[in-house]
Amino acid sequence: MAPKTQEKDFDQAPQTVEQVQEQTRLYMERYNSNSVKISGTIREKYVSDSKPKIDKKTNEHIIVDGVPQFWEPFRSLTISFDGGEMQINVDKDMFDSSIVGKRYLFEGVKGMIYGKVQDRFHSMLLL
């Protein structure tokens, strides 16, 4: 029976500087990545009520040129996928162009939204 040989670092073929730089670049790209991808079928669309803008000093509704001011409502989609479902926040354009019952791939990043770490999706692709 022949003894097992162990592979040592010096047993590998030497790499070029370009190969080492490419490996380092790929490693750093993965190490520093901030990406979120999820695909699912839109089950439901939801728009929250608009909240009034309140002056912090007077605690009264802000009125500009006689028109009461309101915050933009939150828009979210409930998507279902193998293993569950979740609600994701989207912008107005994505909300308006999405269709209930269709399957989409959503891409985005993790980010801070009102002090919470949440997914922020910047694109969607109809599958």
Could you tell me the residue ranges of all domains in the chain?
35-126
Angle subtended at Cα 49 by Cα 35 and Cα 84, rounded to the nearest 5 degrees: 40
Q: Largest Cα–Cα distance of the chain, in whole Å?
A: 94
Which whole number is the average pLDDT over 44-57? 89
Q: Are strands 103-113 and 36-47 parallel, antiparallel or unpaired?
A: antiparallel
Q: How confident is the model at residue 7 (pLDDT cuts 50, 70, 90)?
A: low
pLDDT digits (tens, 9 = 90+) for 75-90: 999 999 988 999 988 9
Task: For residues 68 and 33, give the distance between their C-alpha atoms in angstroms, rounded to a whole number.
Answer: 42
pLDDT at residue 6 in the model: 65
Provide the whole-model pTM.
Answer: 0.65
Which whole number is the average pLDDT over 17-31? 87
CATH classification code of 35-126: 2.40.50
Q: How confident is the model at residue 103 (pLDDT cuts 50, 70, 90)?
A: very high
